[in-house]
Amino acid sequence: MWRFFRQKPLGAAGGVIVFLLVLTAIFADFLATQDPTRTHATQTLSPPSAQFWLGTDHLGRDIYSRIVHGSRLSLAVGLGSTLLGAIVGGIVGLLSGYLGGKTDLIAQRVLDIMQGLPLLVLAMVMSAVLGPAVQNVIIAISVPLIPRAARVIRSSTLSIREMAYVEAARALGVRGFRIAFRHILPNTLGPFIVLITAQLGSAILVEASLSFLGMGIPEPYPSWGRMLSVSAAEYAQKAPWLVIFPGVAISLAVFGFNLLGDALRDVLDPKLRRQ
C-alpha cells in the first residue's frame, strides 16, 4: 500500500476520494443534517447557512443532505450497473474468445453493432424502453458496458488459451467449459478489476446525465443529476449553489474513479508495469 502511494500519487489521491465517497454512502444517515426529502416552505432557495450548510432548493430541501444521500444512490447504481455489464460482457468475451469460429464471429458482429452507438445514447434508448426506476437505470447503463467488457476479456482469453497449461488440460481430456471457467477465467481477473474501476466513473456520469434529462432516477430519490435537472436552467443565476455543489460532487466522484482506474491499470497490466 505504501509503495502504491509512493509510485502512483495520483492513483492514491483517487483512492482517497473513492474511499471517502464509500464512507459517505455507508454513513449517510449519520452525516446528513436533515431529511433529504423534507420540504421547508419558508426556506426555499436559502443560501448556505448554519442550519442549511449548502443552502436549500426551490422546495426548501437541504442540498447538503441530498448530496450525502445521493452518494449512496450514485454509488449503488454505478457499482450495480458496472458489475452487471462487466459480468455479462465477461462471460460473452470468454466464450467468444475460447470457442472461436462462428460463435466468435457472430458475437463480435453483435458487439460491433452495440458499440457503434455512444454509451449515453444507448443508455437513453434502454432507459426510455424500460422506464424511470432505479433497477431499470441499472440495467439501462449496464447494457452499453457489455461490449467493452467483452472486448477486454476476449483479448485476454485469446492469449491465455494458447498457453501450455491449457494445452495440458486439453490433453488430459478436461471439458472445454471447465477449462474456460476454471483455468482461463481466473487469469483474466486483473483486466476485469481494472475494467470495473475504470467504468465506474463513466457509469456514475451516465446516471447523472440520464437523471438530468429526466430519464433516470425518479423523484423523490436524491440523485445528483436530478438535482441539476430541476435547478440548472431556472435557478442557476438566482441560486448558484443549486448547480455548483451537485456538480462538484459528480466531478469529484468521476475524477476519483478515473484516477484510481488508471493507476490500477498500470499496476496490474504487465505490459504497462514499469520495471
For residue 274, pLDDT beyond 60: no
Residue 84 contacts residue 93 (beta carbons within 8 Å): no
pLDDT tens string 64-118: 999 999 898 888 888 999 999 999 998 999 889 888 888 888 988 888 888 887 7
pLDDT at 26: 92
Residue 108 contacts residue 81 (beta carbons within 8 Å): no
Q: Measure the CA–CA gap between 150 and 90, rounded to whole angstroms.
A: 5
pLDDT tens string 4-19: 778 888 888 988 999 9
Domain assignment present for residue 40? The answer is no
Distances (CA, A) of 163 to 196, 218, 262: 26, 50, 28
pLDDT at 275: 45
- 3-state SS string for 168-186: HHHHCCCCHHHHHHHHHHH
Question: What's the mean pLDDT when you consider all of the chain?
Answer: 84
Cell, residue 221: 430519490
Calculated CA dihedral for residues 254, 257, 263, 268, nearest 10 degrees = -140
Domain assignment present for residue 191? The answer is yes
pLDDT at 270: 53
**Residue matched to cell numbers 447538503:** 64
pLDDT tens string 234-251: 777 788 888 889 889 999
Q: Which residues pair with 56 in a beta bridge?
A: 62
pLDDT tens string 133-142: 788 888 888 8
Kindly provide the b/e burial profile for residues 197-207, where b requires at least 16 CB atoms within 10 angstroms of the residue's own CB: bbbbbbbbbbb
For residue 173, pLDDT beyond 70: yes
pLDDT tens string 109-119: 888 888 887 77
pLDDT at 190: 76
- CB atoms under 10 Å from CB of 214, counted, come to 13
Domain assignment present for residue 77? The answer is yes
Q: Measure the CA–CA gap between 246 and 74, rounded to whole angstroms.
A: 12
pLDDT tens string 177-225: 888 888 888 888 777 887 888 788 888 888 888 888 878 787 777 888 8
Which amino acid does the sequence have at 240? P
Whole domain around residue 23: which residue ranges? Answer: 15-29+55-268
Cell, residue 73: 444512490
Domain assignment present for residue 263? The answer is yes
pLDDT tens string 20-54: 999 999 999 999 888 888 888 888 888 888 888 88
- Report how far apart the first and last C-alpha atoms of the chain are (Å, whole number): 18
Burial of 234 (0-12, 13-18, 19+ CB in 10 A): exposed
- Tell me the Ramachandran region of residue 212: left when phi exceeds 0, alpha when psi lies from -120 to 50, beta otherwise: alpha
- Give Cβ neighbours of residue 88 (< 8 Å, ≥ 6 apart): 142, 146, 149
Q: Which residues pair with 62 in a beta bridge?
A: 56
pLDDT at 230: 65
Domain assignment present for residue 231? The answer is yes
Q: Measure the CA–CA gap between 6 and 255, rounded to whole angstroms.
A: 20
Residue 183 sits in a domain of what CATH number? 1.10.3720.10
Cell, residue 210: 440520464
**Residue matched to cell numbers 467488457:** 149
Domain assignment present for residue 43? The answer is no
Angle at which helices 189-212 and 119-130 cross, to 10°: 60
The percent of residues above 90 in pLDDT, for the chain, comes to 11
Domain assignment present for residue 198? The answer is yes
Distances (CA, A) of 25 to 63, 117, 261: 15, 32, 20
Number of domains in the chain: 1
Domain assignment present for residue 5? The answer is no
